[in-house]
Structure 1
């Protein structure tokens, strides 16, 4: 697809800001949704040139689960494609169905309905899914995940078991999207991007390191000595956020990506590697923060770990994955900068 007019949802999120940055670099015109006008302030600042030239516009959608939430923005613009990166991330879940499952599913099916009804120029919709939509607790510990794998979780099970709410929301929303394509036969095709744990430097606004996005917080809590038991994160595959952005933009630009699911992973990692990197490159800090070099649980589990088949992301999307040490170098250096900056603004 040539230079396009694109709708990007949730443009102030951890992954979405990287997608937005790359879309603008590639010359695409972007309208991005955020939940309030205040959410545009940081984006207007870091993308000031694109805003002033009209390359970047904003639209406010307070609640994407409202029926017809995307109707107006799609009616008013001749979009070529939609990148749906917005998804609820609720930490204080009171009601799994209301707070997590319904927003994810309704947000996804709602934007697809609006695209079919009011977007005759739309040729492709790209959805940010998750490797959580691939994985099953019943799989072998050394299972190799592919685009053909599906998490078997059901809506009913998720309602009764809040601990699976996030993985269920990503799974059920993605399934609903593929079912929509199959049954409604719209004039656009679908691509889903399924990243594993996403780490790397942030572009979104950070007002406190304690309220940074969840995956960055995991690393910061080790870097800051808050997780000095080196409790495993429970996920053994990772990908750099910059590669996730590349995958989304390549999925927009490459016709052959249509109709595919793309698992994204650079490879395996464990928390012990993070601790060892900190000791090697920040020894004074490691000592001062009481970070152990290793613990009995900081390595890989004895039964082995799962992997993912990412050949399609390399051959079709052209990703050359950023290595773990390169990501750590950038992420930890940014933590140091943010600590200093936030200290100065107190």
Structure 2
């Protein structure tokens, strides 16, 4: 049955894919963005959905401000809220002030606003991260199987040591704040958290707006990166599967007040260069793209593994294999290079 959905962070990497799925499912959407100019691409991409009101926009400049979501929640009648937005930080001078506090406030403020202003909301889905699951202190943890039962043990104090610790801590404490809110405030809505690792397959619009995973892929594909090294995190998933999980979280039964780890499997940079050499051999030679290397392989001592059984059985996710994600990503690069006249 079609729902009316509030989608926060509507111009984000994952959110754009969520909008596509919501529209194809007949749902109506109000997407929040930080400024009007953030709607430009969305208005172009989803032009057919706007005249009939299936896709609308609302400006929420700062999601951490008390009452930031009150107006949009009062102005519409929502069934579902998908909270994908996260605070935007240009520079990190103070980890607590710039990372930890905004992440937690960005979550608690919308939950408080929903409880106070949107009694019709039945389900809230929060985008979390594998960062809230992984224990960085254990390293590659050979043979260990991560699942929804795991929580990053990082303390609030340790989260403030440096920006990397702050990032992982911010994801852990933001999700924890959501579950604490559910426990203490006992709202009428159900809560689901979606915890993906690094998501790949960005919709590439220009070479200047590549996210971390796309930048890493293009650095290889363009021949800019001559020495291979891995990202240090051994899990990945296709962003299309992450988007599917958000929809299934409110459409499927048995998802309320549950946590889902969305992960296809292990991933190494060698997967990318192997694909390039197999399918673009002339380009690989011409651009001096490195061949698969032990430095980009899984460590001989082993790594951790994912348990994605819950996402398969409850959400019904059928994971996209890595070669399909790599294929689709590189095909976008080829098309954009052609459009821009890049050789």
TM-score (norm 1): 0.95
Q: C-alpha separation between the residues in 1 aligned to 2:80 and 2:268?
A: 37
The answer for the alignment partner of 1:15 in structure 2 is 14
Aligned partner (choices 251, 254, 258) of residue 252 of structure 2: 254
Q: Contact 1:201/1:330 (CA < 8 Å) preserved in 2?
A: no
Counterparts of residues 184-223 of structure 1 (less than 5 Å): 184-202=185-203, 206-207=205-206, 209-223=207-221
Q: C-alpha separation between the residues in 2 aligned to 1:341 and 1:187?
A: 50
Counterparts of residues 58-207 of structure 1 (less than 5 Å): 58-88=57-87, 90=89, 92-139=91-138, 140-202=141-203, 206-207=205-206
Aligned alpha-carbon RMSD (Å)? 1.4
The answer for the alignment partner of 2:227 in structure 1 is 229
Aligned partner (choices 282, 291, 294) of residue 292 of structure 2: 294
Q: C-alpha separation between the residues in 2 aligned to 1:80 and 1:238?
A: 31
The answer for the alignment partner of 1:324 in structure 2 is 322
SS of residue matched to 1:303: coil
The answer for the alignment partner of 1:315 in structure 2 is 313
Q: Contact 1:197/1:238 (CA < 8 Å) preserved in 2?
A: yes
Q: C-alpha separation between the residues in 2 aligned to 1:84 and 1:275?
A: 35
Q: Contact 1:236/1:268 (CA < 8 Å) preserved in 2?
A: yes
Segments ≥4 residues shifted beyond 3 Å: 88-92
TM-score (norm 2): 0.96
The answer for the alignment partner of 1:282 in structure 2 is 280
SS of residue matched to 1:31: strand
> How far did residue 90 of structure 1 move?
3.8
Q: C-alpha separation between the residues in 2 aligned to 1:68 and 1:166?
A: 25
Q: Which runs of 5+ in 2 are unaligned?
A: none
Q: C-alpha separation between the residues in 1 aligned to 2:9 and 2:202?
A: 18
> How far did residue 201 of structure 1 move?
4.1
Q: 1:226 to 1:91 in 2, by over 3 A?
A: farther
Per-residue deviation, residues 68-105 of structure 1 (Å, max 9, x unmatched): 10111111111111000011354642332222222211
Q: How many residue pairs get matched?
A: 340
SS of residue matched to 2:50: helix
